[in-house]
Structure 1
């Protein structure tokens, strides 16, 4: 499947891996794919948010989740994963999003999987998916983004 990725889509997945590592996450999830997409100007413009705003929103969501189980994050520093060596594995949600990207490309009779296919796949994730929580935290209007795509 990766050989069908357009150049920008390959960069997005690479940036998503770096986002997962820098956030100290052991798996690359759908939220990392969104953060990776925001490294590119096209997806950032379509979504109407900056990478910095999304990273801040993701950190807020992490802090809220930890607080819900009784952990205060004020003085905690985020552990980073090693930047070399093993790539973080995809979460089940990220695997499903990747399969959906391929389906969107096939439906459009495209030979390449584009950043737009990635955004479409992320926009259709369910309400309990981390990327959906991030979209909500960023106040992204999904129907407006679909129209822009």
Structure 2
């Protein structure tokens, strides 16, 4: 699958893996792909989204805290120690993240592209809906998905 990825796309996936490691997660999800897209703020796809990496991370953290609060877990006083281990390329992907890549590949074929580009991944993420975490982040940040699609096209 990865042989059809553009160089920029490989960098996005590598950045998503960095996010997996930093968050201490066990699988790469759509939220990691979203954060990976934002690692290069001057990229056309990050500019089209109009959200900073720091803002998206903060929003994702708020969503996590809210979800934990529902089951009466308060992590406000928890101090994380040490640096989480970096994620490896062998880390499993969530079903939703694989679905984003599938949608991105369909978008690439539809546009007669030769390789899967980051904009295709973003278009795939824009199709996601709650309870997907990337979708929750976009919703909480009031991202206009139609406007982002138009800027990408």
TM-score tier by shorter-chain length is over 0.9
Check whether the contact 1:28–1:89 (CA below 8 A) recurs between aligned residues: yes
Matches within 5 A, 1:1-149: 1-40=1-40, 41-42=42-43, 43-78=45-80, 81-83=84-86, 87-149=90-152
Provide the secondary structure at the position in 1 that maps to 2:93: coil
Residues 85 and 53 of structure 1: CA distance in aligned 2, closer, same or farther (over 3 Å): closer
Check whether the contact 2:21–2:87 (CA below 8 A) recurs between aligned residues: no
Aligned-pair Cα RMSD in Å: 1.6
Residues 86 and 34 of structure 1: CA distance in aligned 2, closer, same or farther (over 3 Å): closer
Alpha-carbon offset, residue 9 of structure 1 = 0.7
Check whether the contact 2:17–2:89 (CA below 8 A) recurs between aligned residues: no
Question: How big is each residue's C-alpha offset from its partner over 1:29-56, in whole Å with a ceiling of 9 and x where there is no partner?
Answer: 0011000000122222111111011111
Residues 38 and 84 of structure 1: CA distance in aligned 2, closer, same or farther (over 3 Å): closer
Cα distance in structure 2, aligned partners of 1:84 and 1:19? 8
Query: Structure 1 length as normaliser, TM-score?
Result: 0.93
Alpha-carbon offset, residue 22 of structure 1 = 0.6
Cα distance in structure 2, aligned partners of 1:59 and 1:146? 26
Alpha-carbon offset, residue 65 of structure 1 = 0.6
Residues 117 and 61 of structure 1: CA distance in aligned 2, closer, same or farther (over 3 Å): same
Check whether the contact 2:17–2:87 (CA below 8 A) recurs between aligned residues: no
Structure 1's unaligned 5+ residue stretches are: none
Between the two proteins, the alignment pairs up a number of residues equal to: 149
Query: Structure 2 length as normaliser, TM-score?
Result: 0.91
Cα distance in structure 1, aligned partners of 2:88 and 2:37? 23
Structure 2's unaligned 5+ residue stretches are: none
Q: Which runs of 4+ in 1 moved over 2 A?
A: 77-81, 84-88
Alpha-carbon offset, residue 86 of structure 1 = 6.2
